[in-house]
Structure 1
Amino acid sequence: MAFSRDPLDELVVPDGTEAKEVDLVTDGDVLVGARSTIDFGVRGRNVLAGESVEFGGAIEAEGDCRLDMWCDVAENVLVGQDAYIGERVHVAGEMKVAGDLDIGDDVEIEEGFEANGWIVIRNPMPTIVLLFVYLKHLLLVGEEDTAQRLVSELVDEEGDAQPDVEPLVIPRNATVSDDAWRVSTPATIGDDCRLHGNVRAETIDVGTDTTIFGSLRARGDVTVGEGTRIHGDLTTRDGDVTIEPNARILGDVSCNDLELGPEAEIDGTIRADGEITMGTTERDPE
């Protein structure tokens, strides 16, 4: 994954991500910006959260888990490698760590914890804050290659690298629930995803063969990929909408300009202040 700016300045839902019952499940890492509320539990490779993040379910990390200070987890935390827990973190369930546990002051784990490796009690979590501050500084001064190496070392360490798997990135101050995904940043949703909730973002780009049980609303442009199904309205305040071939909107569409690909369908009312362009299916020569 190549970064050209602060990686927490955009909602990124990688290919194949699913909302399964009470969990968000992804094959890659999970990065959550500070002061966000995630009503789901999360399951991924490495899980990293900034300060004051609230999780409404359990955390299951195949690799490492890093929770900054004042995070709150409503259920268990299960970690396949090492865990780094900041001060004043609250876990309503139990914590099980297969590797080392580095834990800060005033941490409350209601049902106890165990670790197979070393247990160190201190305050390690400025590491998370320092990481993102340093990363942002590298990007500001144009050191994109150095920033990329830093992220690669963090995410793909010790031979467990999966460079083709993008992380799930939830920006700062976001709210993610069955009801709505609310961010004040652009949102990119990958291919073959299955999500529940209305998506609210600056701009929205949805990949192919994805299903969203909710509406899309943005200030700017919205793109819906080929074969995707949106079970709700699609609205943009100031932008254009592109609906690619075989996509279907099971609701109304409101926008400036509208581009419809071949065999794209809109089940509701179209309100377009500008132009409507409709593609046609090319016929094979006889």
Structure 2
Amino acid sequence: MLFRSDPLDELTIPDGTTVEEHDLVTDGDVLVGGQSTVEFGVRGRNVIAGERVRFGGHIEAEGDCRLDMWCDVADNVLVGEDAYLGERVHVGGQLKVAGDIDIGDDVDIEEGFEANGWIVIRNPMPTIVFLFVYLGQLLRIGEEEAAENALSTLLDEDSEDEPVVIPRGATVSDDAWRVSTPARMGDDCRIHGNIRAEDVTVGRDNVIFGSLRAKGDIVVGRGSDVKGNVTTRNGDVEIGPGVKIWGDVRAENVRLHENATVDGTIRASGEIQLHTDDVLDDPDEDAEAMAEMAAEMEGESAESEGSEHDEAGEANEDETTDTEPPESDAVEKGDSEEPDESDEQRERPVTAVEDDGEQPDPAS
């Protein structure tokens, strides 16, 4: 397993993430670095926050929720499994936990708490400290495989859903997503707010109700809709097919797809190029799935047409066999239908010979 120098060195917004009525909603986990501010409510599987993180709404976690010391939550905290609250955590609403609660000293829960499991009041150590101590102890006794399994379980490597990662010192709100690190957005996301980052990469089929601004490069993938400006200070801008930019584009160099639309002006100190390429390096899973489905449908239609032709051919052969009599029968029937001259002569009525003269009267 390979690790970066800092696991929270990038703002990561995975596929399908949406902002719904001031809530940040995702199917995966939510990881928030220390001293960050999240003005939204958060809904996800597991929610983990570092020290001095402030949430402007409620927290709903299907799995575990761990809040390190000095965290502040303005509303309720609902947890589907276990909850871990560090020292001097403040919850402005009610805490409801389906499993166990581990609470530190001087925790303030304004509307009380409920738990179906064990309630332990102590001072749990910070998440990162606990992780290093536990893994260090396993490695010290030679249990490298156990340490790797524990870390894999913690990071949930088998999960198909990528977590939302908010780096340390970030500010996330309806107004702006401000980070001092690169920002990467997946596909099919719906985000409110301007994005301010070191570099910005936007996936496919996203809707961003705001602008994009970066110090470095900005890449906007196929079919995305940016309802604002796209501006970079010292980098380039690449715009993919089907993209619509509702504002201006400003960069050193601009690469614009021939099927993209920019409602505002394009300003570049360098070059402006038109291209026909896909600006993202990762494969387009939706396009591949549609191509496979189309190939399967074509194969099924070809098979059905072939079977219909075969059935039609068999039906025609059956009709021909039923309508055409056997050759011997036809010959016998033909022989029987030939007229007999003697019979024809016998059956032919006798007519009087035409004569212009008068016929004698039989009465006379």
Q: Which moved more, 1:262-271 or 1:223-232?
A: 262-271
Partner of 1:167: 163
How many residue pairs end up in the alignment? 268
Q: Does 1:27 align with 2:23?
A: no
Identity %: 69
Q: Contact (CA 8 Å) 2:241, 2:276: kept in 1 or not?
A: no
- The 3-state SS of whatever aligns with 1:188 is strand
1:34-69 deviation digits (Å, cap 9, x = unpaired): 000000010000000000000000000000000000
Q: Contact (CA 8 Å) 1:85, 1:125: kept in 2 or not?
A: no
Report the AA paired with residue 125 of structure 2: M
Partner of 2:9: 9
Partner of 2:81: 81
Q: Contact (CA 8 Å) 2:246, 2:263: kept in 1 or not?
A: yes
Partner of 2:214: 218
Partner of 1:112: 112
Structure holding more strand per residue: 1
Q: Contact (CA 8 Å) 2:50, 2:127: kept in 1 or not?
A: no
For residues 91 and 124 of structure 2, the distance between their equivalents in structure 1, rounded to whole angstroms, comes to 17
Residue 134 of structure 1: CA displacement?
A: 9.0
- The 3-state SS of whatever aligns with 1:217 is strand
CA separation of 1:228 and 1:257: change in aligned 2, threshold 3 A: same
Q: How does 1:123-162 map to 2 (within 5 A)?
A: 123-131=123-131, 151-156=151-156
Tell me which structure has the larger Cα radius of gyration: 2
1:177-201 deviation digits (Å, cap 9, x = unpaired): 0000000000001100000000000
Alignment counterpart, residue 209 of structure 1, candidates 193, 205, 224: 205
Q: Contact (CA 8 Å) 2:235, 2:252: kept in 1 or not?
A: yes
For residues 255 and 163 of structure 1, the distance between their equivalents in structure 2, rounded to whole angstroms, comes to 38
For residues 166 and 16 of structure 2, the distance between their equivalents in structure 1, rounded to whole angstroms, comes to 16
For residues 2 and 99 of structure 1, the distance between their equivalents in structure 2, rounded to whole angstroms, comes to 33
Q: Does 1:198 align with 2:194?
A: yes
Alignment TM-score, normalising by the size of structure 2: 0.70
Residue 113 of structure 1: CA displacement?
A: 0.3
Q: CA RMSD in A?
A: 2.1
For residues 130 and 237 of structure 1, the distance between their equivalents in structure 2, rounded to whole angstroms, comes to 41
- The 3-state SS of whatever aligns with 2:12 is strand
Residue 7 of structure 1: CA displacement?
A: 1.6
For residues 267 and 146 of structure 2, the distance between their equivalents in structure 1, rounded to whole angstroms, comes to 47
For residues 164 and 103 of structure 2, the distance between their equivalents in structure 1, rounded to whole angstroms, comes to 25
Q: Which moved more, 1:103-112 or 1:118-127?
A: 118-127
For residues 70 and 244 of structure 1, the distance between their equivalents in structure 2, rounded to whole angstroms, comes to 43
CA separation of 1:151 and 1:11: change in aligned 2, threshold 3 A: farther
- The 3-state SS of whatever aligns with 1:63 is coil
CA separation of 1:50 and 1:188: change in aligned 2, threshold 3 A: same
Q: Contact (CA 8 Å) 1:8, 1:172: kept in 2 or not?
A: yes
Q: Contact (CA 8 Å) 1:238, 1:256: kept in 2 or not?
A: yes
1:138-187 deviation digits (Å, cap 9, x = unpaired): xxxxxxx999855431143xxxx752210000000000000000000000
Q: Contact (CA 8 Å) 2:204, 2:223: kept in 1 or not?
A: yes
Report the AA paired with residue 32 of structure 1: V
Report the AA paired with residue 97 of structure 1: V
Partner of 2:299: none
Q: Does 1:273 align with 2:269?
A: yes
- The 3-state SS of whatever aligns with 2:191 is strand
Q: How does 1:22-101 map to 2 (within 5 A)?
A: 22-101=22-101
Partner of 2:102: 102
CA separation of 1:146 and 1:238: change in aligned 2, threshold 3 A: farther
Alignment counterpart, residue 262 of structure 1, candidates 258, 261, 270: 258
Report the AA paired with residue 61 of structure 1: A
CA separation of 1:148 and 1:205: change in aligned 2, threshold 3 A: farther
Structure holding more helix per residue: 2
For residues 149 and 257 of structure 1, the distance between their equivalents in structure 2, rounded to whole angstroms, comes to 46
Q: Contact (CA 8 Å) 1:67, 1:125: kept in 2 or not?
A: no
Q: Which moved more, 1:147-156 or 1:177-186?
A: 147-156
For residues 44 and 3 of structure 1, the distance between their equivalents in structure 2, rounded to whole angstroms, comes to 24
